[in-house]
Structure 1
């Protein structure tokens, strides 16, 4: 049995996959500690987060101790599965990369019909992703009008006016676009497109290595639950890794061993599924849906412009894994109207809010889901119980 230094048996192992984010596990450790700290004044239980340590080259972890008011304790080992180094290689914010990302989104991804489907199912998401293009067009028109007026009022040659116009347009576009903060979703789109087309070769090897890591930990574990968590693009990574782990170890979730569960937050899985070259990912999604012991819950907010709440991450409800539950975290019910209005104005902050503690207790809470006494299977079983009349 896996125990901590104090001899406590392990209740749960969490394997967390962050989104398209170059920040290291140190950031997610701070974020988790902050979530515990934010909920602590209102909570009836006590939660303590241990120090972060490097468990392997691709996994950092820390312990979370949960103590109920009656003194009963639970131990969770929380691991961040690393691919931030690959993200960092695709994170440059220079002009050439921005233009390349625009090309990948509006030419290559359009060839797969992705944007047409996004417009149909998540129009706000498409609008946010296209913001850099709107800004580029708008600033170009503005500069062109100014340079036309300048060339008309002065003996400025047309070719020189064009050169000066381009020179003025590029920094103006970048300044306005960065201020509106739409580029992060553009880069997310471009990365998913490159990944689907096999233009991120390091990802395949990393996904296999992460799946091996998960299988090794699962086979050694005596925990009650193995919980895989994916946020944003991390939901795509979580699906791939867990599907590969299930293929390597079909016994995952079998009676007598740990329960197997998947929790996705603010998912954008359809962005990958709709890419024409993404046959392998679609096969992985089918394999995961067919794994009967799996319990899969998703929390995605309709107000989140960078996610797809209208479509569940498993896409199709068919399959042996019937324990599928799609929900909204209902952020608006967990905070004051003023705080929620402020949150909605910051699209990036809203997309990251799944990892933060609620202002009001009683609803969606990432700490309770990942460190509390109830497993996802327990929660699913409670839903299946008939209500007393």
Structure 2
């Protein structure tokens, strides 16, 4: 069965397994709005390809013409995420040490504050909540000491209550999910995650082997959230290991969704990752598109994922414009849930004609063909020459 597309997907900093992403994809395919050609979609069962990936097949059946077959592979690093997913106080304090006490992390946060202030403030929300709870408890303790005529030092007995309030509020509000993401990426930039580095090498080898074994019309790598960082690194390493990779498919594409690339690229010691981004930018066969919503405070819509312009790669950064593919009520509800908004890149739109993850990963047009059509549309019709 000839493949139209070979997809490699990397999820974000989340311990969810490929089972979760398969369920999401099947739901998106079922909810996929019908196109003008009345195409039909079917998603096959998931099976484990090896220890590094799970795969399934997607079949796009247009009203006319042959069925398009896609092989969809989820590249696994969820086990590494799980080892860094602790929510206890010891884990939180270790994450604080990474984010707020390291010189490199502080320099990165300062740059983030200037370029993407929403990301900066959301990343500091856990620290603000903790300080507010402890300060509030201290003030209550001091007020009680004053009212009861006790020594001011007795106000310290209220601090355990502040600690308890902080942990209870955090569990209810889940403010630390972005702290875990930021701290993990800071550790990656400091070179403190050798297990992740080895996994990215192994995934690059696996991608190269599958690409050589399954020639396709398009080879597409997809990364969501911090998975965009890992997707860029895996593809760059695969290109370094196998210069023949662009010839394994007619088109080579990289699709990033809700990216956090500057969180690693702006760290002083992340020179290897900056070199990998440069390698991608210098790959003439690559088309790199990014969709990041300005309303998504957990991502960097204000900064393109390649961080620097230049190079022959075809790059395009834009917003998915969720509001154009949803009802007003649905979009208003989505904006109230920051985590749901950050995950919405993987869900089908309510209305056709806009951003649609299923069309990008299973539809007839490759990223390169979409880019060519976009450029033709932007140029518009040629004006007639004046006599």
TM-score range, shorter chain: over 0.9
Please show how residues 328-339 of structure 1 align to structure 2 within 5 Å: 328-339=319-330
> Shift in Å at residue 158 of structure 1?
5.0
Quick check: 1:140 aligned with 2:140? Answer: no
Q: Select between 43-52 and 329-338 the one with higher mean Cα deviation.
A: 43-52
Partner of 2:250: 258
Partner of 1:346: 337
DSSP-derived class of the 1:224 partner = strand
Q: Select between 121-130 and 177-186 the one with higher mean Cα deviation.
A: 177-186
List runs of 5+ in structure 1 lacking aligned partners.
Answer: 4-8
Quick check: 1:37 aligned with 2:53? Answer: no
Separation in structure 1 between the aligned mates of residue 82 and residue 263 of structure 2, nearest angstrom: 21
Partner of 2:309: 317
Separation in structure 2 between the aligned mates of residue 270 and residue 178 of structure 1, nearest angstrom: 28
List runs of 5+ in structure 2 lacking aligned partners.
Answer: 383-387
Quick check: 1:116 aligned with 2:110? Answer: yes
Count of matched residue positions in the alignment of Structure 1 and Structure 2: 379
DSSP-derived class of the 2:329 partner = helix
TM-score (norm 2): 0.94
Partner of 2:259: 267
DSSP-derived class of the 1:301 partner = coil
Q: For 2:361, which of 345, 362, 370 is the aligned residue?
A: 370
Q: For 2:4, which of 1, 11, 21 is the aligned residue?
A: 11
Partner of 1:300: 292
> Shift in Å at residue 257 of structure 1?
3.9
Separation in structure 2 between the aligned mates of residue 140 and residue 110 of structure 1, nearest angstrom: 27
Separation in structure 1 between the aligned mates of residue 30 and residue 93 of structure 2, nearest angstrom: 41
Q: For 1:282, which of 264, 274, 281 is the aligned residue?
A: 274
Partner of 1:6: none
TM-score (norm 1): 0.93
Alpha-carbon spacing, 1:42–1:290, altered in 2? closer, same or farther (3 Å):
closer
Quick check: 1:241 aligned with 2:272? Answer: no
> Shift in Å at residue 42 of structure 1?
7.1
Partner of 1:104: 98
Separation in structure 1 between the aligned mates of residue 267 and residue 337 of structure 2, nearest angstrom: 29
DSSP-derived class of the 2:340 partner = helix
DSSP-derived class of the 2:3 partner = coil
State the Cα RMSD in Å: 1.7
Partner of 1:186: 179
Alpha-carbon spacing, 1:226–1:42, altered in 2? closer, same or farther (3 Å):
closer
1:110/1:116 contact within 8 Å kept: no
> Shift in Å at residue 288 of structure 1?
1.1
Separation in structure 2 between the aligned mates of residue 257 and residue 359 of structure 1, nearest angstrom: 32
Quick check: 1:83 aligned with 2:74? Answer: no
Separation in structure 1 between the aligned mates of residue 103 and residue 343 of structure 2, nearest angstrom: 25
Separation in structure 1 between the aligned mates of residue 357 and residue 103 of structure 2, nearest angstrom: 33
> Shift in Å at residue 111 of structure 1?
4.9
Q: For 1:360, which of 339, 346, 351 is the aligned residue?
A: 351
1:329/1:364 contact within 8 Å kept: yes
DSSP-derived class of the 2:81 partner = helix
DSSP-derived class of the 2:70 partner = strand
DSSP-derived class of the 1:350 partner = helix
Partner of 2:385: none
Separation in structure 2 between the aligned mates of residue 109 and residue 193 of structure 1, nearest angstrom: 11
Separation in structure 2 between the aligned mates of residue 189 and residue 176 of structure 1, nearest angstrom: 20
